[in-house]
Structure 1
């Protein structure tokens, strides 16, 4: 097993912890509602609260990654959000609970921009689809493990103790990260042979190992690129469904199937666990099927469109009577939305000709996705309260999934060239180039 696999495992587990902390409130919602008497609309705001600060902080953090460094950005983020998770146990009502979620969201914004840069630095071009999807697969593994662990802890120790223990988990990970992570050029535990392979193949045939790096492009320039907007719109449409499930799936199962908190945890975990396996298989296929030329031209968009189409099965969820059939539908919807979102991050890296732009474009893309993720639980709360069911809530998600499929097929057809071709002059260049200058 290549030693760079440990980097993939580290960032994968970081996202798992990220999402365990996100879904914990959803799993523990029943005793929290019983204690505080929150309405569905209030719970909708609490479910989405962490995303308010998350989206505000994404682009500033994306701009800081190149300056601060990925190691410190990821480590600092998990230290703060783990503290916020633990402090959730001390909340006394809506305002204090919302404050803890806001603090958690701001610090969690470090993960995707910084890890996007880590993947670009550490993995050959033909491995990025698998690694990025595995990394994003933490957004499935986290809810699955979070549902099981949180449900068991809530039943055994109460919801307040649960949040303290979840917060401590982040600091265990942080210790491992601080000891072992380094850039491939500096990692002492990496063999010379593997180091040469990583440095030679991480940008395909576009860059020599010792080539002078190009300065990051400005936000103005990146936002002028149609392909960047295609990535943003696609991510927004896919993430809406992912967050609808992340925040409302436990409540949906409890209210429509009359399940206990523990059984809800088990049944919520099933679709997420199966999704991880399916997502990795699909991403591996995209790496193997696509040639290096296909990858650089953005052909991964066809896989993304197929995943959005698969998620359209969400319209069947409210009408499926058998619990097993419902779990199949939910699994396929989750597979489509989460795999599509992961491959969309990979597509961003595929299209970018300048590695220094990766963290910025990942941040912009994640911002678009999480803006829609932010409104998903709120809109769902209002729709459920107004209609007394989930049919129209799932129809809204389906309409956005269709838009996402169209967007990736029509708007991500051009590579994203670097704005600056000379680090010393920093003069803008808008010319389309097929090779690194």
Structure 2
């Protein structure tokens, strides 16, 4: 692996008497990610009853379930451009309120077409979310703490998927599928208001003293970057696009993210069907087993962030500290191929848990965006990164559907293993030395 030599130990220890306001920011990001993924999971919970009420066939169900991904991926670049120009204190609450309103109306409307339109609207307004998360983390955390912060708030997506899905199912049972959308949307509306009231940049925050701001700045946090609205650059330019599209290092993290998120989308789409249709499990048992890999991923993402930052503190180069958990995690993800060589359900689930633990371990990839993106184009780079990564939400279900037959799922695991191997090569040979791209 390139760039693995040690450098001198970190020279920016925490200043005595500095505040810890950045930890509250990490918690705010975590809550926002949980809400974000809760609003992605609510449709999969309600889909069976929606299909029954509206008489949807499987093709219509697939269209409804895919509606979010099409607009979410397509709007990553405009969303990233917007992140570079609008302050997180204003943009994040606006996005939260708008996607939450769309979610609430999904529980009120009475037609299939309206559900499609509203689900696409949720994808539109959630598109800037992760670029905003990355921008906030880059401003609030020094380099040696950033991967831990990113790992912490990213873990919210696995909690949202593994733990809140049963809660939403219970709500639907007690009330109706309509209330699943109304209540989850209401949570987002309230949190949007909370974010607007509480969030400030480091230099504007009354909770962060000068010692903490200096600590963040000296550790590589971008506390002094002025928004584009104050620099006079209001329009996207081809020069900006070429900067984020023509650099080999950036393509390394774009391609790596596509390969990493392919595993996530396999578990979000095909894994439950694999257990039911190819392993002959009932829905109750498969529902429980589906949650186990997500819990393993939750552990993995928390370990990945802490491990990476500890390597930075021990004097490892930034490239080694960031890429070691990512590449190790991708190697672990390749263990899912073991499912092709056993008929033991316990072993199959064990392979899946190891694979998704690895996916979680590798999910600190946004730390590379923080470390490598041009400072002025943090949002645009993050948008491109998330756009290419989330193309897997379209490619993975379609490609696997073409590869497998009614009796043979083995080609799917071969495909996932090959894609993961490509991701490893991309981090090793394309990314190379981790350093900020200059303009």
Shorter-chain TM band: 0.7 to 0.9
The answer to whether the 8 Å contact 2:336/2:417 transfers is yes
Moved more, 390-399 or 19-28: 390-399
Q: Of 358, 372, 375, which aligns to 2:392?
A: 372
| Residue in 2 that maps onto 1:300 | 322
Task: Kindly report which structure 2 residues correspond to 1:300-319, keeping only aligned pairs within 5 A, or say none.
Answer: 300-317=322-339
Q: Secondary structure at the match of 1:90?
A: coil
Distance, in Å, in 2 between the alignment partners of 1:42 and 1:212 is 46
Match for residue 243 of structure 1?
Answer: 265
1:194 counterpart (209, 212, 217) = 212
- After TM superposition, the score normalised by the length of structure 2 is 0.84
The yes-or-no answer on 1:32 pairing with 2:50 is: yes
Corresponding residue of 2:236? none
The alignment yields a C-alpha RMSD, in angstroms, of 2.8
**Cα distance in 2 between the residues matched to 1:166 and 1:398:** 36
Question: Partners in 1 of 2:68 and 2:215 — Cα distance?
Answer: 40
Aligned mates of 1:338, 1:15 — CA distance in 2: 15
Mapped partners of 2:92, 2:189: distance in 1: 12
**Cα offsets for 1:376-409 (capped at 9, x unmatched):** 234444556x535543333322221111111111
**1:427 alignment counterpart:** none
Change (3 A) 1:235 1:195: same
Relative distance call for 1:251 and 1:304 in structure 2 (3 A) is: same
Shift of 1:239: 0.7
SS at 2:21 equivalent: coil
- Structure 1: segments with no counterpart, 5+ residues: 420-437
Give 1:139's aligned residue: 157
Give CA deviations for 1:135-170 in whole Å, capped at 9, x if unaligned: 222221221133222222222223222121111111
Residue equivalent to 1:268: 290
Aligned partners of 2:377 and 2:184: how far apart in 1?
Answer: 34
What CA distance in whole angstroms lies between the structure 1 residues aligned with 2:261 and 2:250? 16
Q: Which moved more, 1:287-296 or 1:365-374?
A: 287-296
The whole-number CA distance in structure 1 between the counterparts of 2:49 and 2:77 is 36
**Deviation of the 1:318 alpha carbon:** 6.5
Specify the alignment match of 1:18 in structure 2.
36
Higher mean alpha-carbon deviation, 32-41 vs 7-16, is at 32-41
Query: 1:288 maps to what in 2?
Result: 310
Shift of 1:118: 0.5
1:139-158 alignment, distance < 5 Å: 139-158=157-176
- Tell me what 2:427 maps to: 408
Where does residue 109 of structure 1 map in the other structure? 127
CA gap 1:43/1:251 in 2 versus in 1, 3 angstroms: farther
Aligned partner of 2:382 among 357, 362, 365: 362
- What secondary structure is seen at the aligned counterpart in 1 of 2:432? coil
1:2 is displaced (CA, Å) by: 2.2
Deviation (angstroms), 1:220: 0.9
Give the match for residue 430 of structure 1.
none
The reply to whether residue 119 of structure 1 matches residue 142 of structure 2 is no
| Partner Cα separation in structure 2 for residue 389 and residue 93 of structure 1 | 37
| Structure 2 unmatched runs, 5+ | 1-18, 234-238
1:295 Cα deviation from its structure 2 partner = 4.5
Name whichever of 1-10 and 164-173 sits farther off.
1-10
Shift of 1:331: 2.3
Secondary structure class of the residue paired with 1:343: coil
Distance 2:318 2:419 in 1: 27
**1:99: Cα distance to partner?**
1.6
Does the alignment pair 1:347 with 2:365? no
Equivalent-residue separation in structure 2 for 1:319 and 1:24 (angstroms): 35
What is the CA–CA distance in structure 2 between the aligned matches of 1:102 and 1:400, rounded to whole Å? 28
Q: Offset of 1:13 from its aligned partner?
A: 1.4
Alignment CA distance shift 1:264-1:210 (3 Å):
closer
Structure 2 CA distance, aligned partners of 1:96 and 1:309?
43
Q: Report the Cα distance in structure 1 between the residues aligned to 2:210 and 2:261, rounded to whole angstroms.
A: 40
Supply the distance in 2 between the matched residues of 1:27 and 1:223 (Cα, whole angstroms). Answer: 38
Q: Could you list the per-position Cα deviations for residues 80-120 of structure 1 after superposition, in whole angstroms to 9, with x for gaps in the alignment? A: 11122222223545433322221110111111111111011
**In the alignment, is the contact (CA less than 8 A) between 2:254 and 2:389 conserved in 1?**
yes
Name the structure 2 match of 1:219.
241
Partner of 2:82: 64
CA contact (8 A) 2:309 2:321 kept: no
Shift, 1:41, TM fit: 4.3
- Residues 13-40 of structure 1, C-alpha deviation per residue, up to 9 Å, x if partnerless? 1111111111222233333344445444
Tell me the TM-score normalized by structure 1: 0.85
Q: Verify the 8 A CA contact 1:120 1:358 in the aligned structure 2.
A: no
Do 1:239 and 1:372's aligned partners in 2 also have CA atoms closer than 8 Å?
Answer: yes
- Alignment-derived partner of residue 337 in structure 1: 359
Q: CA deviation at 1:286?
A: 1.3
1:60 deviation in Å? 1.1
Following the alignment from structure 2 to structure 1, what is the Cα–Cα distance between the partners of residues 80 and 314?
Answer: 27
